[in-house]
């Protein structure tokens, strides 16, 4: 079945540690996105990538980094510079069509907590 | 700047009641797209509908209906005869043209609780 796989489902970070969240899609989508969800604040965009080897900062990129070496994969690293990393992280992807704005498909999310 | 406002943080209804979730948006683009997503307790966002700015036709899909009004910049979502399975967080979202990145701007979400 085609879809987006995020792993792990739960992740714990120690102080000063970098952690990486995985996002893989087999939908052959060009664009991929990372969102952060905090209670009562909706989803906020961290980074996005419309093509391999290229990515753009979203609204809250500080303390995060990404890479896009393969079309299928868009891992997100939460660095020690992110002082409040506890949140639910959602990865999404979409196909590209010139004439319309396709919907985003979402993964099932990763809950990151600080120990 | 683009913005989406969902003023209702939480709504609680009894099963079989009708309920409307409000969404107001701001954008300077002439071409834009509006979306509704449902987030059940499992966490994954489920796509419900997409509307483009040139299509103001209201839409009905089973018990769901959407009212898009450009004059008031609103895209409201109504559930008729609500059911317990409708309990979830619902998000309204806005995006511009794909050359703007295709990214969605989300509202804060409305948590709907349908009680038996």
Q: Give pLDDT tens digits for B15-48.
A: 999 999 999 999 998 889 999 999 998 899 999 9
Half-sphere exposure of B75 (CA within 13 A, CB side): 28
Report H helices in A1-115.
none
Rounded CA-CA distance A45/B13 in Å is 31
Contact B91 A42 (CB under 8 A): yes
> If pLDDT is split at 50, 70 and 90, which confidence band does A67 have?
very high
**pLDDT confidence of residue A97:** 61
Q: What angle do CA B88, B89, B93 make, to 5 degrees?
A: 140
A71: left (phi > 0), else alpha (psi -120 to 50), else beta?
alpha
Which residues 67-106 of B have a C-beta within 8 angstroms of A? 91, 95, 97-98, 101-106
**pLDDT confidence of residue B79:** 97
Rounded CA-CA distance B103/A93 in Å is 10
Question: Which chain B residues contact residue A56 at CB under 8 A?
Answer: 101
Rounded CA-CA distance A39/A43 in Å is 9
**Which chain B residue's Cα is nearest to A56?**
B101
B95-104 pLDDT, tens digit per residue, is 987 677 778 9
Of the candidates A88, A67, A75, the one whose C-alpha atom is nearest the C-alpha of residue A22 is A75
Closest chain B C-alpha to A6 CA, distance in angstroms? 11
Q: Considering chain B, what is the average pLDDT of its residues?
A: 93
String of DSSP letters for B94-106: EE--GGGT-PPEE
**Which chain A residue's Cα is nearest to B9?**
A40
Name the least confident of A104-108, B20-24, B88-92. A104-108
Rounded CA-CA distance B60/B55 in Å is 14
A77-96 pLDDT, tens digit per residue, is 999 989 899 999 999 998 87
Q: Considering chain A, what is the average pLDDT of its residues?
A: 91
- Is the previous residue joined to A107 through a cis bond, with omega within 30 degrees of 0? no
Tell the burial category of B22 from Cβ atoms under 10 Å away from its Cβ (0-12, 13-18, 19+). middle
**pLDDT confidence of residue A1:** 63
Residues on A contacting B at a C-beta cutoff of 8 Å: 31, 33, 35, 40-45, 48, 50, 56, 58, 88, 90, 92, 94, 96-98, 100-109, 111
Closest chain B C-alpha to A108 CA, distance in angstroms? 4
Residue with tokens 């969800």: A37
Task: Give the C-alpha distances (Å, rounded to integers) separating B52 from B33, B69, B95.
Answer: 4, 12, 9
Is A11 in contact with A21 (CB distance < 8 Å)?
yes
Is A63 in contact with A81 (CB distance < 8 Å)?
yes
Q: Determine the residue among A103, A105, A112 to mutate to test chain B binding: the one whose Cβ has the most chain B Cβ atoms within 10 Å.
A: A103
């Amino acid at each position: 079945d085609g879809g987006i796989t995020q792993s792990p489902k739960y992740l714990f970070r120690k102080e000063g540690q970098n952690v990486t969240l995985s996002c893989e899609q087999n939908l052959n989508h060009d664009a991929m996105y990372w969102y952060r969800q905090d209670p009562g604040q909706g989803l906020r965009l961290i980074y996005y990538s419309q093509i391999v080897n290229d990515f753009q900062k979203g609204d809250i990129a500080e303390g995060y980094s990404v890479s896009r070496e393969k079309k299928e994969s868009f891992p997100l690293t939460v660095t020690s510079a992110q002082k409040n990393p506890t949140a639910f992280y959602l990865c999404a992807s979409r196909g590209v069509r010139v004439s319309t704005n396709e919907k985003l498909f979402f993964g099932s999310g990763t809950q990151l907590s600080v120990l | 700047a683009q913005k989406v406002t969902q003023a209702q943080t939480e709504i609680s209804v009894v099963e079989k009641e009708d309920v409307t979730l409000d969404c107001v948006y701001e954008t300077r683009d002439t071409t834009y797209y509006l979306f509704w997503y449902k987030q059940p307790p499992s966490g994954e966002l489920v796509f419900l509908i997409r509307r483009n700015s040139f299509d103001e036709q209201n839409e009905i899909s089973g018990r769901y209906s959407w009212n898009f009004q450009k004059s008031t910049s609103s895209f409201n979502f109504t559930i008729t005869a609500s059911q317990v399975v409708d309990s979830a967080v619902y998000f309204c979202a806005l995006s511009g043209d794909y050359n703007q990145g295709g990214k969605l701007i989300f509202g804060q979400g409305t948590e709907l609780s349908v009680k038996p």
